[in-house]
Amino acid sequence: MGTEFAGIGAVVTGAGHGIGAALARALAAAGARVVVNDLDADAARAVAAEIGGHAAPGDAAGEDGVAALVDAARARLGAIDLYCANAGVATTGGPDAAPEAWELAWQVNVLGHVRATRLLLPDWLERGTGRFLATVSAAGLLTMLGSAPYSVTKHAALAYAEWLAATYRHRGLRVHALCPQGVRTRMLDGTGPHGQVLLAPTAIEPADAAAAALRGMAADEFLINHFSQHVSDRNAFGLHGCIAYMFAILPTCPLGDPLWSAPCRSAPSSN
C-alpha cells in the first residue's frame, strides 16, 4: 500500500469503538485527515484526540444527523474524499421481532448509507472522484442466525453498495463493501448465544478488519472480506464453504429450536 490515503479527507461513522475506531486509526496512520463520528460523544472525542483527528459526535442515520455530519466534515476537511459508513445496529429476533427493531435496523444499516450518498454524490460526480466504504459484514453475504433484522438489512446494504458501484463507477466513484465474519467488538458481544457459538471462536481483531479494508480499497476491490484462518483452513473461504461451515457446527449449538427464539434486543450502535 502506497500513498493512496495521504492527505485525503475521510469520515468514519460509528468510530468510537470497534471496527470504526480501527478504521479511523488506520486511515490516520496512512496520512488521512479523519473526522470521527459516533453517538458516544466521549468515545468519538477520545479516538479523535488519539489520532489527531476531529470529533463530530451525533447520529449518522437520520436525515438531520447525516446532514449535520456532512456539513461539519466539509467545514473541517474542505472536501470529503472517503466516507466510511460503518455505524450499524444488530437487532435480534425473527418474524417475532418488534416493528421498532426492524425500523431501527433499516434506518441505521441501510438508510444511513442512502442519506449520506444523497449528499455526497453531487460533489463527487462533479469532481470525478469519490470513495464510499460500507461496513456490511458477512451477514450481507450469508446470514446471521438469531438476527433476521440484521441479516436482512445487511443484505440490503450490500445491494445498495452494488448499485452505487454499477451506476457511478464510470464517473469516478469507487465503492467497497467490507464483509468480515466475526470481529471482536461490542456488537459481537451483544449478539447473544448465537453469535458466541457461530462467530466468537474464530473472530478477528478490529485492527485486522481495518487493515483488510485499507488493502482492499488500495487494490480497488469491491468486496473486501477477511474470514478467519480457521475457516480458510477448511477450504471455506467462499460463500458456499462458509454456509457449509455454519451449518456443520449447528449440531453443537445448544440453543434450541427455533434459532431466532431469543428475546429481541439491540447491540451497541457501532460495528
Which pLDDT value is given to residue 236?
35
> Range with the lowest mean pLDDT among 87-96, 181-190, 257-266?
257-266
> Which amino acid makes up residue 168?
Y
Cα 31 from Cα 1, distance rounded (Å): 12
In the 8-state DSSP scheme, what is residue 249? S
Beta strand spans in 146-269 (E) = 173-178, 223-224
25, 54, 211 from 57: Cα distances, Å: 17, 10, 24
Show the cell assigned to 98. Answer: 418488534
pLDDT digits (tens, 9 = 90+) for 223-266: 998 643 333 333 333 444 444 444 444 444 444 444 333 333 33
Q: What is the residue-wise DSSP string for 90-103?
A: -B-BSTTS-HHHHH
Active site residue 150: yes
Show the cell assigned to 155. Answer: 443484505
Which secondary structure element, helix H or strand E, spans residue 165, and what is its range? helix 148-168
Considering 150, 160, 168, 245, which one is annotated as catalytic? 150
Show the cell assigned to 152. Answer: 436482512
**Average of per-residue pLDDT values in the chain:** 82
CA-based angle 130:139:247, to the nearest 5? Answer: 150
pLDDT digits (tens, 9 = 90+) for 121-142: 999 999 999 999 999 987 788 8
Neighbouring CB atoms inside 10 A of 64's CB total 10
Which pLDDT value is given to residue 271?
64
pLDDT digits (tens, 9 = 90+) for 148-165: 999 999 999 999 999 999
Which pLDDT value is given to residue 159?
97
What are residue 152's phi and psi, to 5 degrees? Answer: -65, -45
**β partners of residue 9:** 33
How far from the centroid of its chain's Cα atoms is residue 129's Cα?
22
pLDDT digits (tens, 9 = 90+) for 98-113: 999 999 999 999 999 9
